[in-house]
Amino acid sequence: MIRLLDLRSEKSGYCFPVSEKMWGILGRRAVDGGFSASSFRRMRSGLVSARSYAAGSKEMTVRDALNSAIDEEMSADPKVFVMGEEVGQYQGAYKITKGLLEKYGPERVYDTPITEAGFTGIGVGAAYAGLKPVVEFMTFNFSMQAIDHIINSAAKSNYMSAGQINVPIVFRGPNGAAAGVGAQHSQCYAAWYASVPGLKVLAPYSAEDARGLLKAAIRDPDPVVFLENELLYGESFPISEEALDSSFCLPIGKAKIEREGKDVTITTFSKMVGFALKAAEKLAEEGISAEVINLRSIRPLDRATINASVRKTSRLVTVEEGFPQHGVCAEICASVVEESFSYLDAPVERIAGADVPMPYAANLERLALPQVEDIVRAAKRACFRSK
């Protein structure tokens, strides 16, 4: 308990578009991120009461956005089914699949044994035969036990069979660092999956992203790796009427410019988008107008939007949470250098997680992940370098 409170006080600039009244202490802890399984079960009731408050301001948590997306797709198409550990009776390890078992029954919401390779393969085989599985990994770290199926039997099959067998499967789950979960539960897999041809890799940030991209992923005829973020699940975002419509889909492969600017481009995805927006506000106070691009889709990467933005601002800061070597940022940097070299006024700044397995101690973990100050500092470096 005490460790989490300390975290909250030491984190800088971490405010949410949510009033404190709406969430009790339990809810705040959930939003800050990181809770053990036991505290999580205790919080279940708190979360239910908090969710019912959402009237009037049209806000939605990422968790609800994902839940509603899966719910709507399951009711629209009987071939869609969910499988994973604890998705049924436990209501989902992170409550994303809450209520689905009651609504659709055990024939469509499968609680699997702890056999990632087995159930992922079963999902791929079911997709070969025409169904549309949504396979949940409790975290993407566990997908390493099934990575053979994601890459060899799912991603490559349409190509190996020359278009005869496509695999309309979605692999989803939380990716990247949570709070205090240690080295084996904190890795970001965006770079690994995004390097494989045949896969589509999506990373939503807001509730609208989550809804639109998950619906697009479930409808997509190809294997999609859907990287969520545990710390974003409880965060609330404003959501438009259009996004609440049941046929709302976002296009795969298009990035979103979250904030327009003219001095420096900051590209990022998932939780780091929130940090980048905070950083942009701080930079604005100092007279630097930053353009923040939410990538949304890691594969295919929206190189057109990134390059157009860099040609406008001439400076690039690229941010991600994962390991630096061979990361998403490295790819973006290479793409910009190849396509917009003469437009760059400063070397590309790359901010990634530290090149270490994630430490457990709270202060070390904070040092291992990019923070708002790091983004601000890098942007300033990019802006003043040419002076």
Partner 1 sequence: MATSFSATLPLHGSQENRLLLPPIRLAPPPSSFLGFTRSLTIPSSRRLYHAHAARRSPVVGVQEVVKEKKVTNSLLITKEEGLVLYEDMILGRSFEDMCAQMYYRGKMFGFVHLYNGQEAVSTGFIKLLTQSDSVVSTYRDHVHALSKGVSARAVMSELFGKVTGCCRGQGGSMHMFSKEHNMLGGFAFIGEGIPVATGAAFTSKYKREVLKQDCEDVTVAFFGDGTCNNGQFYECLNMAALYKLPIIFVVENNLWAIGMSHLRSTSDPEIWKKGPAFGMPGVHVDGMDVLKVREVAKEAVTRARRGEGPTLVECETYRFRGHSLADPDELRDAAEKAKYAARDPITALKKYLVENKLASEGELKTIEKKIDELVEEAVEFADASPQPGRSQLLENVFADPKGFGIGPDGRYRCEDPKFTQGTAQV
Residues annotated as part of the active site:
116, 185
The β-bridge relationship of strands 59-61 and 236-238 is antiparallel
The residue (of 165 and 244) whose beta carbon lies closer to partner 1 is: 165
Note whether 149 and 117 are within 8 A (CB).
yes
CA distance 142 to 111: 16
- Provide the minimum distance between the beta carbon of 209 and partner 1 in the complex, in angstroms, as a whole number: 17
The residue (of 286 and 338) whose beta carbon lies closer to partner 1 is: 338
Closest CA to 147 of 178, 124, 163: 124
The residues binding partner 1 (CB under 8 A) are: 78-79, 81, 107-108, 112-113, 115, 117-131, 148-149, 152-153, 157-166, 168, 197-198, 200, 220-222, 251-254, 297, 299-305, 307-308, 339
Secondary structure (DSSP) of 229-279: -GGGTT-EEE--HHHHSTT--PPTT--EEEE--SSEEEEE-THHHHHHHHH
- Provide the minimum distance between the beta carbon of 95 and partner 1 in the complex, in angstroms, as a whole number: 24
CA distance 367 to 360: 11
- Provide the minimum distance between the beta carbon of 111 and partner 1 in the complex, in angstroms, as a whole number: 11
Q: Cite the beta strand spans of 300-359 per DSSP E.
A: 316-319, 349-351
Contacts of 247 (CB under 8 A, 6+ apart): none
- Provide the minimum distance between the beta carbon of 272 and partner 1 in the complex, in angstroms, as a whole number: 21
CA distance 100 to 45: 17
- Provide the minimum distance between the beta carbon of 158 and partner 1 in the complex, in angstroms, as a whole number: 5
The residue (of 119 and 189) whose beta carbon lies closer to partner 1 is: 119
Per the structure block, which two tokens stand in for 383?
């802006």
CA distance 26 to 46: 6
Place of tokens 């940030």: 205
The residue (of 152 and 184) whose beta carbon lies closer to partner 1 is: 152
- Provide the minimum distance between the beta carbon of 341 and partner 1 in the complex, in angstroms, as a whole number: 13
The residue (of 220 and 235) whose beta carbon lies closer to partner 1 is: 220
Phi/psi for 167 (5° steps) reads -125, 90
- Provide the minimum distance between the beta carbon of 35 and partner 1 in the complex, in angstroms, as a whole number: 30
Phi/psi for 24 (5° steps) reads -75, -165
Place of tokens 């009244």: 21
The residue (of 308 and 362) whose beta carbon lies closer to partner 1 is: 308
Note whether 85 and 93 are within 8 A (CB).
yes
Which long-range contacts link 342-347 to residues 24+ away (Cβ below 8 Å)?
343/310, 343/311, 343/314, 344/310, 344/314, 344/315, 344/316, 345/314, 345/315, 345/385, 345/386, 346/314, 346/315, 346/381, 346/382, 346/383, 346/385, 346/386, 347/382, 347/385
CA distance 144 to 187: 11
The residue (of 165 and 337) whose beta carbon lies closer to partner 1 is: 165
The residues with which 11 forms a beta bridge, in sequence order, are none
